[in-house]
């Protein structure tokens, strides 16, 4: 068992399986979640449960946070009752959330003044990647604390890349979400075109995913959609949140992103329609309503 005492804060769709993999890798794990009942499964597997974030920080060498948005990270890290009240020399705080790069840099600077290291380490791969220890982890921050926590990160993901200084991990995640959104929307458009123009969508996917259009989205998502499964691997509301972070960052640095701006509005519309808890690939529904056509999988004809 590793000598590192690891804390994990935030046991949502992604956080719980990530924490479970840390525990399976043999680390001494303590967890905390705003909804305490989410700790029960990990406690039954041998994890300790902290009473609050300051206690989590005091009793761990590394604390990993994974919550929904920038205000949540600021609260659990620097706010009243947050990790900041339990800081100690040598502590490393790693954030797996997706937040504004500017906020990550601000947290880094504040914690540095307290003698505590901070890494922004957002992840990509969705719930399946979290469950299968198959995540891509993008890290911003100093190299020395990264070297120390690398075994913990490797317990959660297949790929860990040190992108650069503080905030660089969040910038890489913003870039990732530009591509993810574009793929989900392109998939929706091609499926609706195939359906309405009279081609079998299943055969269309089969025909194109082995060529220049091949991508992770076409390898993984159509099968779920064809089966009528639009439950989240990654919630559309989080996709919309991430895209809005992209656009805020683009405004900050005067970067023109016209296609991503449109994609952001499409996901915002999906959330406004009440479909934010569906998978991000369920943006298909927005296109179905727009075009008055709904995905159907034709039955195979017997010769």
How confident is the model at residue 297, as a pLDDT? 83
23-71: pLDDT as tens digits: 999 999 999 999 999 999 999 999 999 999 999 999 999 999 999 999 9
How confident is the model at residue 299, as a pLDDT? 73
162-217: pLDDT as tens digits: 999 999 999 999 999 999 999 999 999 999 999 999 999 999 999 999 999 999 99
Instruction: Specify the CATH number of the domain 5-165.
Output: 3.40.50.720
- Return the sign of the alpha-carbon dihedral for residues 259, 222, 232, 40: negative
pTM, full prediction: 0.92
Domains 5-165 and 171-291 share a fold: no
Q: Token match 């392109």: residue? A: 186
Given the residues 16, 48, 173, 221, the one annotated as active site: 173
d(Cα 248, Cα 26) in Å, to the nearest integer?
40
Mark whether 173 is an active-site residue: yes
Cα distances (Å, whole numbers) of residue 89 to 25, 86, 185 = 25, 10, 46
What are the structural domain ranges in the chain? Answer: 5-165, 171-291
Q: Which of 21, 67, 17 is nearest to 238 (CA)?
A: 67
**Third-level CATH fold of 171-291:** 1.10.1040
Q: What percent of the chain has pLDDT over 90?
A: 95
pLDDT band (50, 70, 90) for residue 300:
low
Q: Residue 303: pLDDT above 70? A: no
- Return the sign of the alpha-carbon dihedral for residues 186, 187, 191, 192: negative
């Amino acid at each position: 068992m590793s000598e590192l005492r690891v804390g994990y804060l935030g046991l949502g769709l992604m956080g719980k399986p990530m924490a479970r993999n840390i525990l399976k890798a043999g680390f001494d794990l303590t967890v905390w979640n705003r909804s305490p009942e989410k700790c029960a499964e990990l406690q039954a597997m041998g994890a300790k449960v902290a009473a609050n974030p300051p206690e989590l920080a005091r009793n761990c060498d590394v604390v990993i946070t994974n919550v929904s948005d920038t205000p949540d990270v600021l609260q659990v890290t620097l706010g009243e009752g947050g990790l900041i009240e339990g800081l100690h020399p040598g502590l490393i705080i790693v954030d797996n959330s997706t937040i504004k790069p500017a906020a990550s840099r601000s947290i880094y600077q504040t914690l540095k003044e307290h003698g505590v290291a901070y890494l922004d380490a957002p992840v990509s791969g969705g719930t399946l990647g979290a469950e299968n220890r198959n995540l891509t982890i993008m890290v911003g921050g100093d190299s020395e604390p990264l070297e120390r926590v690398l075994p913990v990160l490797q317990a959660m993901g297949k790929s860990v890349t040190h992108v650069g200084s503080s905030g660089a991990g969040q910038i890489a995640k913003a870039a990732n979400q530009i591509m993810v959104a574009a793929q989900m929307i392109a998939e929706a458009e091609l499926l609706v075109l195939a359906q309405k123009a009279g081609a079998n969508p299943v055969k269309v996917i089969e025909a194109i995913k082995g060529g220049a259009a091949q991508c992770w989205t076409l390898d993984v998502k159509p099968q779920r959609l064809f089966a009528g499964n639009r439950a989240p691997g990654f919630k559309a509301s989080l996709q919309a949140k991430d895209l809005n972070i992209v656009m805020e960052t683009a405004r900050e640095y005067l970067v023109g992103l016209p296609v991503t701006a449109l994609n952001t509005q499409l996901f915002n519309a999906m959330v406004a329609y009440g479909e934010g808890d569906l998978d991000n690939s369920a943006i298909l529904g927005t296109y179905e309503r727009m075009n008055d056509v709904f995905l159907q999988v034709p039955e195979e004809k017997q010769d």
